[in-house]
Amino acid sequence: MCAKVSYLSDKYTLSQIMDGYREAVKLLYIHIFEYMTEKGFFEHLSGEITPNDIRDWSSGNAYQRFEHLSDGITLNDLMEKMNISKDRKQIFSAIIQCLADMGVLEVKNGSTVLLKSAKCPFCICEIDTKYFDVVGNVPKEIAKLVKRFDPLSSDSTVKFDGNFNRFWNAIFLAPYYAYGRDEAVKWVGFEDATIADLGCGPGYALEKLAVHAGKHGRITAVEVSKDFLDIAAKRVNGMCKVDFIKSDVDNGLPFLESSKYDGVTAIGLLHFLRKPEQFLSEVNRILKPGGKFAMGNQYLIKPTMYQGATDLYFSIIGQYSKAHTSEQIRQMLSSSGLNLNYTFEVGNYGWFYARKE
């Protein structure tokens, strides 16, 4: 292993990462609670709301769950009363899911949501900040976007481009995310390796992979966003031979040779793809036998206190996205010929490290 690469696992244990993530989600929920209070949500609800379709976990999308709140009040009515623009419906729905996940709204009998309490169950002074830096500014950035969104039109949705640098840097540099990315680099990276980093974004994994690969290594970076490709290219300039390809991986990887790669990474990518099974088959095709694959920060369907926060995050990004259960991901990996080696979860994010048979 190359001595120059530093890993977050030297600084944090996985359990510290998980603890920090939990406390930061509580902080996000406090921000959400304050926002909904300010907007008058609790005044407009009479005490009982009955959604048509409460928890459609199979879609991983909060929107359907709160389409109708009661016989009297629809989501649209409530948004109008609270002066939230109609095109924020999906985000608003995800915010209500956050309230349900934090226990302010309670699901009863599978079909009724009761307004349990207008008190926030988390107190800011009770939040354990010990490992707080594992999530950095993410709750603040998300809360800021929620507030900024409602009076604006749909073109304020987060894009994969340089205009959202501040938001993306908060996400990509937060240790809860970077920890799994480091594990991905550890899993696939070595000297002289031939690696493909798919959906490389601004190149944080790429940089470490390039340090590992050294001057005889070769990396191919594939990315749909031109801005991110440019940022990534600057980051690894002169480090090792890196080919940059601007492409939508939902169209397959016809430009990548079969059985060529020692390692492939696809971090924070699969949930944005319309054809995830086809993508994983392509990953299997381009890997050498015995080659390694790391996939992660994968949006999971997992009904926990984190689901609302994760749904909210993906609603804010506003790109096509689809969550899967951890079991579905395992199935997809296995059907494409990839053997899962190890996996872990941080909140509703799953990390999967596999190998081609």
- Residue 14 is a binding residue for ligand SAM (CB under 6 A): no
Residues 6+ apart with CB under 8 A from 344: 14, 180, 350, 351
Three-state secondary structure call for residue 297: strand
For residue 240, the minimal CB distance to ligand SAM (Å) is 18
- Residue 272 is a binding residue for ligand SAM (CB under 6 A): yes
Query: Is residue 240 within 8 Å of 214, Cβ to Cβ?
Result: yes
Near ligand SAM by CB under 6 A: residue from 273, 286, 323, 329: 273
Following CA atoms 239, 243, 247, 253 in sequence, which dihedral angle do they give, to the nearest 10 degrees? Answer: -120
For residue 94, the minimal CB distance to ligand SAM (Å) is 17
Q: Which residue is nearest to ligand SAM (CB)?
A: 201
For residue 216, the minimal CB distance to ligand SAM (Å) is 24
Angle between the 204-213 and 226-235 helix axes, to the nearest 10 degrees?
Answer: 40
For residue 312, the minimal CB distance to ligand SAM (Å) is 15
**At which residue do the structure tokens 């924070």 appear?**
268
- Residue 293 is a binding residue for ligand SAM (CB under 6 A): no
DSSP 49-68: E--SS---TTTT-GGGGGSB
For residue 84, the minimal CB distance to ligand SAM (Å) is 26
* 92-151 binders of ligand SAM (CB under 6 A): none
Near ligand SAM by CB under 6 A: residue from 21, 172, 261, 351: 172
DSSP 59-122: TT-GGGGGSB-SSS-BHHHHHHHTT--GGGHHHHHHHHHHHHHTTSEEEETTTEEEE--SS-S-
- How many helices (H) and strands (E) the chain has is answered by 12, 10
Cβ proximity to ligand SAM, 113 vs 286, nearer residue: 286
Q: Tokens at residue 21, please?
A: 């993530």
Cβ proximity to ligand SAM, 202 vs 217, nearer residue: 202
Cβ proximity to ligand SAM, 205 vs 309, nearer residue: 205
* 195-254 binders of ligand SAM (CB under 6 A): 199-201, 204-205, 223-225, 228, 248-250
From the list 343, 318, 334, the residue with the least C-alpha distance to 90 is 318
Q: Which residues bind ligand SAM (CB under 6 A)?
A: 160, 172, 181, 199-201, 204-205, 223-225, 228, 248-250, 267-269, 272-273
